[in-house]
């Protein structure tokens, strides 16, 4: 029985480490990461370009591009279910900055929004898009299906694993 317990513990630890490793490497090395919840106290971004991807090419997602962004109280939550066991990975950063951000999401909500020179129409190289020179959103929550960043700095990052 003792041996079985040790084996289970080793198995769980290895599964958990793979999830943490893949998520952290994905975010930390600015590689595409998919299907996670993004929460942030605030996002300050520049050169917003928001549009809807076509159903045939992009599965009808909301695309948000920012040339650069500063995020406070960033939280990335990714849940995985393995054999009835749900493992939740949380990556927290009090202050993060990114450049060349492309976020593909299903929905996006914010407690408040401030945008300068916002435009809706044929802008940003698209037939139809929402663009803004600067954007500040607070109390953000978004379900992100894919995120690509050119560079990312996660200052004082904390990783937490919950089962």
Partner 1 sequence: MRRETRRQPFHFFTLGRKGTAAGLLLVFSILLAAPLLGSPGETFQVWAFYSYTWSELHMVGYENENVTVVTSPSIHFENVRMLVNGMWIELKSADAENFYLKAKYMETDIIILNLVPLCRIVLNGSHVDRGIPLIGWMLGLETCHTADAHMYPPLTWMVQMRNTYIVAEELRLSLVSENVRIHL
* Residue corresponding to tokens 């894919």: 146
Sequence length of the chain is 163
CB 138 within 8 A of CB 114: no
35 binds partner 1 (CB under 8 A): no
In the complex with partner 1, the residue whose CB is nearer, 71 or 137, is 137
Part of the chain binding partner 1 (CB under 8 A), chosen from 18-26, 55-63, 91-99, 148-156: 55-63
Cα distances (Å, whole numbers) of residue 48 to 63, 69, 115, 120, 129 = 10, 10, 9, 12, 10
Q: What are phi and psi of 26, to 5 degrees?
A: -60, -50
Name the nearest CA neighbour of 149 among 98, 81, 95, 93: 98
Counting residues that bind partner 1 (by CB under 8 A) gives: 27
* Selected binder of partner 1 within 12, 15, 16, 52 (CB under 8 A): 52
In the complex with partner 1, the residue whose CB is nearer, 78 or 104, is 104
Name the nearest CA neighbour of 141 among 103, 102, 89: 103
* Selected binder of partner 1 within 122, 151, 155, 161 (CB under 8 A): 122
- Which residues 80-119 are close enough to bind partner 1 by CB under 8 A? 106-119
In the complex with partner 1, the residue whose CB is nearer, 24 or 113, is 113
Rounded to the nearest whole angstrom, what is the least distance from the CB of residue 109 to partner 1 in the complex?
5
Rounded to the nearest whole angstrom, what is the least distance from the CB of residue 57 to partner 1 in the complex?
14
Count of CB atoms within 10 A of residue 58's CB?
A: 15
**Binding stretches for partner 1 (CB under 8 A):** 50-52, 60-62, 106-122, 127-128, 130, 137
């Amino acid at each position: 029985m003792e041996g079985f317990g040790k084996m289970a513990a080793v198995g769980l630890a290895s599964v958990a480490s793979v999830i943490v490793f893949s998520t952290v490497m994905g975010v930390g090395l600015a590689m595409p990461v998919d299907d996670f919840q993004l929460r942030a106290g605030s996002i300050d971004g520049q050169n917003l370009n928001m549009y809807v991807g076509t159903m045939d090419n992009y599965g009808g997602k909301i695309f948000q591009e920012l040339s650069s962004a500063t995020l406070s109280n960033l939280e990335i939550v990714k849940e995985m279910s393995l054999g009835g066991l749900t493992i939740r990975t949380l990556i927290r950063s009090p202050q993060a900055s990114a450049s060349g951000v492309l976020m593909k999401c299903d929905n996006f909500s914010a407690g408040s929004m401030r945008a300068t020179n916002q435009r809706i129409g044929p802008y940003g190289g698209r037939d139809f898009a929402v663009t803004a020179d600067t954007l500040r959103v607070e109390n953000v929550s978004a379900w992100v299906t894919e995120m690509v960043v050119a560079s990312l700095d996660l200052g004082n990052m904390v990783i937490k694993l919950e089962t």
